[in-house]
Chain A
Amino acid sequence: MTVLRVTGLWKSFGSQSVLTGVDLEVPQGSLTAVLGPSGSGKTTLLRVVAGFERGDRGSVTLGSGVVDDGHHYVPPEHRGIGYVPQEGSLFPHLTVRANVAFGVRGSRRRRRGPHAPATLSGGEGPALPVDDLIEMVGLTGLGGRYPHQLSGGQQQRVALARALAVRPGLVLLDEPFSSLDTGLRSSVRADVQAVLRSRGTTAVLVTHDQDEALSVADQVAVVHAGRIDQCGTPQELYDHPSDPTLARFLGDANVVAATIQGDRVATPFGPLPWRVGPGMRAPQGAVTALVRPEQLRVETGDGPGMRARVVRCEFHGHDTVVTVEPIAPLPAPGTPDGGEAIVGSGSVTVRSEGNLVLPDRTPVRITATGSVLTWPSAVRGAAR
């Protein structure tokens, strides 16, 4: 069952178009990440779904009820959603317990408005006991505290408990972890994910952090310039991004010019098996190919592969990221007019396990394993 369906949604502020035809479906029980750079319109999308803004065109459907289609508009208090804003926005004059209980007392208050269609079924039923919620987000004993007495991570947990307290059919999280320190971020993120999963709550998370989107969500929708570019599971998106721009946005990517030769594709790193995105036709001739850094290996001595020199070695503890440049300019296969084989910066990124110390300018060989994703050579983002 689909909890949230957005169809052809447009929204502009003055002359500035922010959403230009967004389509999105969120299945029940899923955690969907809306991923996009700042200014892409992802927060506006969330605010229209919450009812803080009204769409210009298109429709928003929650459960079985249309809540915004340009004519009808259901105010936020009748939508049955939970909302966790970026800073938590805990009410500063209320204790933790009063914050969590804010929407709870007298669940009759959640009655439908006169012209509001039934929205989300999750909004029904008895509210959860406040103390259980506080315990669930790991803040047992802190119910009497005021928000300013809590750390940033604790505040976000309270904000989540407050949103869950009204048994929302859908929880909207607006970059809830971005104001936290790196170390705290991953632990709060994991806890929030666990709480949402344990209750089977459907949630939409807005974020600009691709790492966060890929690690937490069941479904990722990438927003770019007011539209959803691609939507799928994290694996689908990482393995089959629809174009090089998306590929780079979802992680480090080496985009190279290559040529199909039967069941292999000739790349600067040697011939490799190829694959294409779902629904794409088998490629022919010159293509653009994606090689992820973890597919590459740095080797020394003689042998096959791309001959290169080390530009930079960054040690990250769990792995080392080596940046190399081809020793000689590398013409793209099938383009004798001198197009470069390596698209983008002209350098290649390799992720190598463990510690690898290579002085600058060390001559190395780069080899590849696994299959590479190929696009037609004219795909967006393939030009230098």
Chain B
Amino acid sequence: MARTGTVSADGWAPTPDGDGPGPGATRGRHRPWVLWGLSVAVAALLAVPLVYLVAEAASSGWSVTARLVFRSFTFELVWNTVRLSVAVTACCAVIGTATAWLIERTDLPARRLWAVLVVVPVAIPDFVVGFGWVSVAPAVHGFPGALLVMTLALYPLVYLPVAAAFRGADPGQEEVARSLGLGRMATFRRVTLDQARTALLGGCVLVSLALLAEYGAFEILRYQTLTTEIFFESQRSYDIPVASSLSLILVVLSLVVLGGDAAARNRGRITRSTRSARAGTLHRLGRIAIPATLGLVVLVVLALGVPMGVIAYWLADPGTTTLPATTTLIGAALTTAGYAAGAGVLATILALPVALLAVRHPRRSTRALERSTFIVQAVPGLVIALALVYFSVRALRPFYESTPLLILGYGIMFFPLALVAVRTSVAQAPLAFEEVARSLGRRPPAVWWRIVLPLIGPGLAAAFSLVFLSTVTELTLTLVMIPTGVQTLATQFWAFSTNLSYGAAAPYAAVMIGIAVVPSSVLGRWFDRLPARRAPDPRDPS
């Protein structure tokens, strides 16, 4: 599954605990019926995959579904999926947190360089990492192989939020703990880790969801999970009842992850007495700096060096392929960019009404609606694809295997990403600005043009870019929904690499990563810059 940028999703997730309307909100204005209507329509659209699962199970009969679900083979698939998810999540939690602590809280040499290097792997699609390992070390496969590859591909999802939490945490708390007689280790365990707890949890949720949805890497690594079996049943055996009953299990597992996250999150809230973050004093590593640096070197070599090195190796030694290319590199790149642009625009437009409603009219009902749209995070791209194909075959035949339907699939899949960015940007333009502008004699259209758009524009661009980048590296949904005879960078790479034509596949991976890495770093800078130009925080009770 492509996931460039999902990383920040959690940090910006909606606050579960707003304290009544802030300055950005209306004071009990008339109900915004238009926004409500649009938002409900969006929520309904996002619910399509879930409707499909229920409809399909009902049409083949619940007894049939139950029999398919409770097969011993199903248990094996669930066991494979769950044990890998738990193991990888645990490894990512440890590696991500340790790396974040070293880079943010200690006097490790070259911290800024490391901060960049350990994040870059997030831009490399998981199936490319898998390809990197398998093509040079065929011994990497099965459970150990999947554990290695997925940990290396996913640990930045923990690193990024935890590092952000460390940066924003109140250093005074550690100092107070030390002054109360706690040792360094006890302080780390009871204070530092606790500061990062919400972020760590959010990161682990992202890792788990990514694992449940992943297809390409597991196919390459010959590790059978629910997703690979769903793909096989739906695309090779054309056994839709089996595929959809397995999908049901997969979505339930994802919902359990999301639900557990929400439950754990509500148990404790981070409170912070002061707003201004004072930079804490850095822990002195002393002699530990050497093993710590070595550890980071190993991590970066494995996570970044291996896939990049392998791609470079295959680029230098293209070899030959018997597989005829159905597209050129440039053709695939253009197709990919076109799809990605469409997806970015669509997801941003879908997110706008929901974000406006949630930010500007914060009520229990609007928050519930907004949160309901995040449930789509629990629906893997493969399941979205199956649902849309199902409905297009039944009701919208002309759209079957069409470009609009594919883009709709991307739009649904990456909606949560877009919502997070759009929400942040809408919060940059509280209603108070519009009121002031109107009191200064400007009509509503002029106010939108001169005040609202300039303020939310960068955020809309960020939402577009996040979705764009994610779409570029998306494989699973694309494989199912792409119109016949068309190839994106990801699908063409996939066609070559599954045919063991590694040399032919490498250029597609290189272009994909090139498109994904550079804009990601620009985006990262934009998110970093955000607080500086921030208006009074609308969530801040005043």
Q: Which of A78-86, A183-191, A214-222, A278-286 contacts B (4 or more CB under 8 A)?
A: A78-86
In contact, A75 and B438 (Cβ under 8 angstroms):
yes
Q: How far is the CB of A234 from chain B (nearest CB, A)?
A: 27
Given contacts A91-B451, A148-B533, A77 and B442 within 8 Å (CB-CB): yes
Give the size of the chain A interface in residues (CB under 8 angstroms).
Answer: 39
Taking CB atoms and an 8 Å cut-off, the chain B residues in 515-542 that contact chain A are 532-536, 542
Query: Which single member of A50, A86, A148 contacts B439 (CB below 8 Å)?
Result: A50
Task: Specify which chain A residues have a CB less than 8 angstroms from the CB of B438 in the assembled complex.
Answer: 51-52, 75-77
Give the interface of A toward B (CB within 8 A).
13-14, 16, 43-44, 47, 50-53, 75-83, 85-87, 89, 91-93, 102-103, 109-110, 146, 148, 159, 162-163, 165-166, 172, 179
Considering only CB atoms, which chain A residue lies closest to B28 in the complex?
A: A13
Considering only CB atoms, which chain B residue lies closest to A110 in the complex?
A: B441
In contact, A85 and B432 (Cβ under 8 angstroms):
yes
Q: How far is the CB of B190 from chain A (nearest CB, A)?
A: 35
Q: With an 8 A cutoff between CB atoms, is B23 at the interface?
A: yes
Given contacts A14-B28, A76-B435, A93-B455, A87 and B23 within 8 Å (CB-CB): yes
Q: Per-residue CB proximity of B254-286 to A under 8 Å, as 1/0? A: 000000000000000000000000000000000
State the 10 A-B residue pairs at the shortest beta-carbon distance, nearest first.
A103-B440, A13-B28, A83-B439, A76-B438, A89-B432, A110-B441, A77-B438, A93-B454, A76-B439, A87-B536
In contact, A91 and B433 (Cβ under 8 angstroms):
yes
- 26 of the cross-chain contacts (CB-CB < 8 Å) are A50-B439, A52-B435, A52-B438, A75-B438, A77-B438, A77-B439, A77-B443, A79-B439, A83-B439, A83-B440, A85-B435, A85-B436, A87-B535, A89-B430, A89-B535, A92-B428, A92-B455, A92-B534, A93-B455, A102-B437, A102-B442, A109-B441, A146-B533, A148-B532, A162-B440, A166-B440
Taking CB atoms and an 8 Å cut-off, the chain B residues in 440-483 that contact chain A are 440-443, 446, 450-451, 454-455
Bound CA span A93–B442, Å:
17
Bound CA span A159–B433, Å:
11
Task: Specify which chain A residues have a CB less than 8 angstroms from the CB of B542 in the assembled complex.
Answer: 86-87, 179
Task: Specify which chain A residues have a CB less than 8 angstroms from the CB of B534 in the assembled complex.
Answer: 92, 148
Bound CA span A295–B456, Å:
58
Bound CA span A166–B436, Å:
12
Q: How far is the CB of B379 from chain A (nearest CB, A)?
A: 36
Considering only CB atoms, which chain A residue lies closest to B457 in the complex?
A: A93
Given contacts A53-B27, A148-B532, A148-B533, A89 and B433 within 8 Å (CB-CB): yes
In contact, B430 and A103 (Cβ under 8 angstroms):
no
Bound CA span A56–B5, Å:
48
Given contacts A87-B536, A148-B532, A166 and B29 within 8 Å (CB-CB): no
Query: Which single member of A47, A78, A146 contacts B27 (CB below 8 Å)?
Result: A47
Bound CA span A110–B430, Å:
24
Query: Which single member of B27, B451, B454 contacts A44 (CB below 8 Å)?
Result: B27
Task: Specify which chain B residues have a CB less than 8 angstroms from the CB of A110 in the assembled complex.
Answer: 441
In contact, A89 and B439 (Cβ under 8 angstroms):
no
In contact, A103 and B442 (Cβ under 8 angstroms):
yes
